[in-house]
Amino acid sequence: MAKRLMIFVPAYKTQRTVCSVIERIPKDVMKKTTEIVVMDNYSPDKTYDAVVDYKKKNKLSKLKVFRHSKNIFFGGNLKAGLNYAVKNKMDIMVMLHADAQYPPEKINDLIKPIEQGKADTVFGSRFLGDPLKGNMPIWRYLGNILLTRIENILVGKSFSEWHSGFTAYNCNVLKKIPFNLCENGYEITTDILLIFISNRLRIAEIPIPTHYGEESTSPSIKRTFSYFINSFRIAFLFFLHRFGIIKIKKYSI
């Protein structure tokens, strides 16, 4: 029986790139996709209008476009996508950012371990390749390496990176875990991964190319530092939970 596949595209101020990202989804992936869901997080530009126009022009009935009535932050937007996937009885949900940093061409590779029953979540790792070759800023490169090493030590894992925005989830697992209790910032992907780890679920990573172009959105150094601190905080709290020093409800098996 074919899997019901949903591609979730969280979008914010990506008027210039979101349609090209959808356009790059391979034809064989598009054919087996049940829905492509774009959720615009109350962008001040014309991101929503651009996708609506693209849908009409290309007569894509499987493309669903939504716009939140206020900015609910990245984590809130992702939760909305996850809840939509569970509510609509999807089997697999892929998160694909709208800013063209991640490769739609790799969706088949991303979902394959879940389709084969070998993983419950899969993320694309830029650090299994050469991120600097893809123009990743050096400060982001070094910060990612440092933070990943700290998180691996605190959590007891050996992932090549923790901060990918290209992820696939088994929706049958999603409906059993408390992802709605997770962070509302960009740290939500780390938080969800920790829930998978605490429940001893299967996690896989695949290599993906890195792309940082003029069209790609990238947070400021200030916001990146804030993300670094919050990610460390989450991992440290998990460390305390892991050794029974404190108890955190969302990580409890």
| pLDDT score of 36 more than 80 | yes
| Residue at 234: amino acid letter | I
| Residue at 88: amino acid letter | N
- Band of the pLDDT at 43, cuts 50, 70, 90? very high
CB 125 within 8 A of CB 205: yes
Identify the residue whose tokens are 């605490």: 198
| pLDDT score of 114 more than 70 | yes
**Percentage above 90 pLDDT, the chain:** 88
- Band of the pLDDT at 216, cuts 50, 70, 90? low
Mean pLDDT computed over every residue of the chain: 95
CB 212 within 8 A of CB 130: no
Of 35, 166, 34, the closest CA to residue 111 belongs to 166
CA distance 224 to 227: 5
Over residues 143-193, the pLDDT tens digits come to 999 999 999 999 999 999 999 999 999 999 999 999 999 999 999 999 999
